[in-house]
Amino acid sequence: MAMIQTINLTKRYGELMALSNLNLEIEEGDAFGFIGPNGAGKTTTIKILATLLKPTWGEARIDGLSVGPVNARQVRSIIGYVPDYFGSYEDMVVEEYLAFFAASYNIHGEARQRVIADVLDLTDLSYKREAEVNSLSRGMQQRLSVARVLLHDPKVLLLDEPASGLDPRARIEMRELLKELHRMGKTILISSHILMELADLCNKVGIMEQGELKFIGTTQEMLERARTGIVYHIGVSDRLPHATQLLKQTPGVQTAELVDGHIRVGLDPAATGPGAIAHALVTGGYSLTRLEEEKVNLETAFMRLTKGLVQ
């Protein structure tokens, strides 16, 4: 059974379709990266899952429970929601802040002190126990937000842009914390518009654009989906324009063009391979200096999938 599931989940604001018939399944223990441009529908989805927003139609389920007013209390007991902003708690120190939220989950006495110590240790904030919340850096405040939602040991973590606005060091620290939570068996749904943040954390990704799910699968499956052909970058020692014309006439070569001092060649994978390119150039009297296949990286794949270049 999926830990998180949506069935035709839709949210409209008047004429604006913020979320359109989203069908999503996330298994227990997955670290799922929810990726897309700003305004793609990621935050809307997470707020519905967190019981903070009602869908226009469709259904969302967490651990088999339908997300809605009837089951809201039960759902909230098994999720931890970290929004993309911290909020203001100017009059509290870190320990008081966590004690306040622990009390809201009916955690009292020695159990409260123990769980506060545990989450501070896990998020590496023990040395800030007596610090005022508003004195913390943004990175520390984000880690404190994660500590807060771990107090009741939820099965599911819903994280909306947790690394937004963080400096490079704080981003790394946040990523390592989330990796540790994944190793602990938490099911994690984390949204971002920066794919590289999630590449080494998530075992699955979903790409959203204009309220619609464009892709779901592993990062490797995403790269394969975005590959539109086989492309090689060719370098020769001289006579680049002539070499380009030669390659255009080589069987199996679909395109050949000069790009930044080298030749970019598109091949018909069923007709030829890189050996035919090398043979044609050497036979034509050219000295080959480069023969490199173009790799589709994560950013290229994201751009192709979200701009509708791959169907």
Per DSSP bridges, beta strands 230-236 and 253-259 are unpaired
* pLDDT over threshold 60, residue 200: yes
| Banded pLDDT at 157 (limits 50, 70, 90) | very high
Q: Would you say 111 and 169 are in contact if contact means Cβ atoms under 8 Å apart? A: no
Q: Which of 113-127, 183-197, 271-285 has the highest mean pLDDT?
A: 113-127
* pLDDT over threshold 90, residue 225: no
Q: Would you say 6 and 60 are in contact if contact means Cβ atoms under 8 Å apart? A: yes
pLDDT of residue 29: 95
pLDDT of residue 91: 84
* pLDDT over threshold 70, residue 235: yes
76 to each of 44, 126, 151, 153, 281, how far by Cα in Å?
17, 26, 13, 11, 66
pLDDT of residue 168: 87
For residue 94 the two structure tokens come to: 């870190």
Rounded CA gap, 123 and 248, in Å?
A: 58
Residues present in the chain in total: 311
pLDDT of residue 5: 97
Residues ≥6 apart with Cβ < 8 Å to 86: 138, 141, 142, 144, 145
CA proximity to 163, closest of 33, 27, 30, 305: 33
pLDDT of residue 87: 75
The larger pLDDT score, comparing residue 39 to residue 18, is at 18
* pLDDT over threshold 60, residue 126: yes
Residues ≥6 apart with Cβ < 8 Å to 116: 95, 98, 99, 102, 151
pLDDT of residue 311: 39
Q: Which of 34-48, 108-122, 295-309 has the highest mean pLDDT?
A: 108-122
- What domains can be seen in the chain, in order of their start residue? 4-217 (3.40.50.300), 228-295 (3.30.70.100)
pLDDT of residue 48: 97
Rounded CA gap, 264 and 287, in Å?
A: 16
Taking only the tens place, the pLDDT of each residue in 254-280 is 889 998 889 988 887 666 678 888 988
Least confident span in 211-215, 228-232, 290-294: 228-232
Q: Would you say 187 and 111 are in contact if contact means Cβ atoms under 8 Å apart? A: no
* pLDDT over threshold 90, residue 51: yes
Rounded CA gap, 157 and 185, in Å?
A: 11
pLDDT of residue 227: 66
In a 10 Å sphere around its CB, with 0-12 CB exposed, 13-18 middle and 19+ buried, how is residue 148 labelled? buried
| Banded pLDDT at 98 (limits 50, 70, 90) | very high
The larger pLDDT score, comparing residue 174 to residue 311, is at 174
Q: Would you say 266 and 230 are in contact if contact means Cβ atoms under 8 Å apart? A: yes
Average of per-residue pLDDT values in the chain: 89
For residue 259 the two structure tokens come to: 């790009």
Amino acid, res. 2: A
| Banded pLDDT at 306 (limits 50, 70, 90) | confident
In a 10 Å sphere around its CB, with 0-12 CB exposed, 13-18 middle and 19+ buried, how is residue 81 labelled? buried
- Give how far the C-alpha of residue 298 lies from the chain's centroid of Cα atoms, to the nearest Å: 11
CA proximity to 26, closest of 239, 191, 246: 191
pLDDT of residue 228: 63
